[in-house]
Amino acid sequence: MQRAVRIGLLVLVIGFLGALVIFNAINPAPVDMEVWNEQMTKGDKETAKHHFIMYTDIFCPYCDKFSDAVAANMEDFGNHYIKDNNILFEIRVTDMNYENGHSNNSRPAGQAAYCAAKQGDFWSYYYALLSKIYKDYHSRGIGVDRNSEKIPTLDMDYFYDIADDLESIDRDTLVKCMEDKETIAELDNNTKKAASKVNGGVPRFVFDKYVADGFLGNWNTDNDYGQVKLLMDAGLASK
C-alpha cells in the first residue's frame, strides 16, 4: 500500500513536470510586434531589422537587474546593438506585480512611467526611478528575491521627487497626470495584453522569434551586462 502511494506520488510529480515541458513546447506565447508606446522604444522603428521587446514591471527585481546593467553600459548597448545591428528596443511596462498581489508599488510606478512617456522622456524617468529603487532597497537586499524583506508601500512623493532631478519632467504635470489617473487605462490595457503573452511572468524577452523568461544576475552591472549580451546575441542568432 505504502509502496503504491509512493509510486503514485512519483508518477504524479514526473507527470506534472512532463506536462510542463510539453505545454511550454507546444504553447509559445503569441508574439505582438506592433509598438505599444513609441516613447518606450530606442532605435529607428522605420528601418529596424530586429525588434527586441522586454515585458517588465518596475518592481520586478530580475527585470531591474537587466535594465540597470543596460543603463550602466548604455554606450555599448546603444552602439553595438541598437545602432550596428539596427535593433528596435521596446520596453512594455506593466503592473503585473500589483495585479498578482505582490507589490502595491507596481501600480503607481507603472502609472508614473506612462506619465513620463506623455511628457516625452520615459527613459530618463525610468532609469532614474530604477536607480533610486536600487539605492534605497535592492542594494540593501530588500525586495531582491522571493525570501527577502518586501519593499514597503511607498508614498506618492517617492515617484514625484524623481522629477525634481530631471529637467525634462515637470513635477506638477507629473502629479496632475497621476492624480487624474491619465495613464491608468493605458497601463491596465497593456498589463492585460501582456498577461496573455508572457505565460504569467516578467521579465519576458522577445527578440524576433527568440524568447527567454527570467534573468540570472547579481546586481553587479558588469556581470549582468555579460548576461544581457548573451541574450542579445542569442536573439541576433535566432532564425
Partner 1 sequence: MAIRKIIETISDRSKFALVSIAYLFKQPKYLLIFLFSFVFFSYFLTFFRDGSSNWQLVWSGLGIDRKFELLGRVFPAMLENFSSFYGVTIIFLSLLQAVIVAQLVFAWKHREKGQQIHGASTGGVGALLGFVALGCPSCGIGLLTPLLTAIAGASAVALADTIGQIFSILAFILLIFSIIRLGYINYIIISSKNYKEEHAKSR
Contacts with partner 1, residue ranges (CB under 8 A): 6-7, 9-10, 13-14, 16-17, 19-20, 23-24, 27, 57, 60-63, 96-97, 99-103, 141, 144-148, 195-196, 198-203, 205, 210-218, 223, 226-227, 230-231, 233-235, 237-239
Q: How far apart are CA 232 and CA 237, in angstroms?
A: 9
In the bound state with partner 1, the residue whose beta carbon lies nearer, of 118 and 137, is 137
d(CA 101, CA 156): 19
Distance, CA of 182 to CA of 103 (rounded, Å): 21
In whole angstroms, the minimum distance from the beta carbon of 114 to partner 1 comes to 20
Round to whole Å and give the CA distance between 41 and 82: 11
Q: Which three cell numbers stand for residue 54?
A: 522586454
Q: Tell me whether residue 84 or residue 237 sits nearer to partner 1 (CB atom).
A: 237
CB atoms within 10 A of CB 63: 26
The nearest distance, CB 36 to partner 1, in angstroms, is 17
Nearer to partner 1, 20 or 33 (CB): 20
Q: How far is the CB of 214 from partner 1 (least distance, A)?
A: 2
Helices (H), strands (E): how many in the chain?
Answer: 10, 5
